[in-house]
């Protein structure tokens, strides 16, 4: 079964840029009909969908975050990325990368999550 | 986009059935069958239990079932068990291409 693994700095300073990587254990990022997303969860709070990118190249963003967020991929290296600019304490959360089968709501593969804290 | 509306908490005794509602709008739940549900135990990764309104992934107990009527989706847990005590989140596609989660429901087994 495919596995996802998030990586990145656990601590980011306010106003700086957060960069996260999701490593995919198989070739499905370049060969399958899937959509790849970032979702976050502030400690003790609910889930928030941030952005997704499908195999076709289409990208969709949470309107409230769109101006600060970029999603991209390096399919040859089986990675996709999240970049979020001008972070504040409100961006402190566990960040998950996920895989969803295209044309369904079947988001069945999640990474273990990585905790990001925004603090000076 | 506004979060879908879920009750903050639902409780039930072992063996009972409970239903968690997820209220949306004509632009999300009311306009799609791309509605899913996730179970999250404390400190754990969310787990998909229902997708496309009514479908269960293999390995998920048939005690979990999903439905939709108008702008509201529902998750029913029948034969409630102690292991079902967790947080539950609904998730819906929005007709602009984005997705939205519900605020989450804490299920307590009495």
Concatenated DSSP letters of B34-67: -EEEEEE-TTS--EEEEBTTTB--TTS-TTEEEE
Q: Which residues of A touch B51 (CB under 8 A)?
A: 104-108
Decide if B49 contacts B38 (C-beta within 8 A).
yes
Q: A28 pLDDT band (50/70/90 cuts)?
A: confident
- Residue pointed to by tokens 């044309």: A103
- Mean pLDDT computed over every residue of chain B: 97
Confidence of residue B43 (pLDDT cuts 50, 70, 90): very high
Contacts of B57 in chain A (CB under 8 A): 106, 108
* Binding-site residues on chain B for chain A (CB distance < 8 A): 1, 3, 33-36, 38, 45-48, 51-52, 55, 57, 89, 91-93, 96-104
Subunit contact B57:A112, Cβ cutoff 8 A: no
* pLDDT number for residue A76: 82
**A31 pLDDT band (50/70/90 cuts)?**
confident
Provide the pLDDT for residue B2: 86
In order, the DSSP letters of A11-39 are EE-TTS-EEEEEEESSTHHHHSSEEEEEE
Residue of B44, B45, B52, B103 best to disrupt the A interface, most CBs of A under 10 A = B45
What is residue A29's predicted lDDT score, i.e. its pLDDT?
Answer: 83
Stretch A14-35: mean pLDDT: 92
pLDDT of residue B21: 98
- Quickly tell me which residue has 């300073």 as its tokens: A13
Contact between B48 and A106 using a beta-carbon 8 Å cutoff = yes
- Residue A75, classed as helix, strand or coil, is helix
* More confident: A74 or B20: B20
B48-90 pLDDT per residue, tens: 999 999 999 999 999 999 999 999 999 999 999 999 999 999 9
Average pLDDT over residues B41-45: 97
- Asked if residues A72 and B56 have their Cβ atoms less than 8 Å apart, the reply is no
Nearest CA-CA partner of A72 in A3, A5, A19: A19
Q: What is the pLDDT of residues A47-100, one digit of tens each?
A: 999 999 998 889 999 999 999 999 999 878 799 999 999 999 999 999 999 999
**pLDDT tens readout for residues A110-120:** 999 999 999 99
Whether the per-residue pLDDT at B1 is higher than 90: the answer is: no
């Amino acid at each position: 079964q495919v596995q996802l693994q998030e990586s990145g700095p656990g601590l980011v300073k306010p106003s700086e840029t957060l960069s996260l990587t999701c490593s995919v254990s198989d070739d499905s990022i370049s060969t399958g009909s899937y959509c790849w997303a970032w979702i976050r969860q502030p400690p003790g709070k609910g889930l928030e969908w941030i952005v997704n990118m499908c195999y076709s190249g289409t990208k969709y963003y949470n309107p409230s975050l769109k101006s600060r967020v970029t999603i991209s991929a390096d399919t040859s290296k089986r990675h996709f990325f999240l970049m979020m600019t001008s972070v504040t304490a409100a961006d402190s959360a566990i960040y998950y990368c996920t895989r969803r089968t295209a044309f369904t709501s079947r988001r069945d593969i999640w990474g273990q999550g990585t905790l990001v804290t925004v603090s000076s | 986009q506004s979060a879908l509306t879920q009750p903050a908490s639902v409780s039930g005794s072992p063996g009972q059935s409970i239903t968690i509602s997820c209220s949306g709008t004509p632009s999300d739940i009311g306009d799609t069958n791309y509605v899913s549900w996730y179970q999250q135990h404390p400190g754990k990764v969310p787990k998909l239990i229902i997708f496309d309104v009514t479908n269960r992934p293999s390995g998920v107990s048939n005690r979990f079932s999903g439905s939709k009527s108008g702008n509201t989706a529902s998750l029913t847990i029948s034969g409630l068990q102690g292991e079902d005590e967790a947080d539950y989140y609904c998730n819906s596609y929005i007709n602009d291409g984005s997705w939205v989660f519900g605020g989450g429901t804490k299920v307590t087994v009495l």
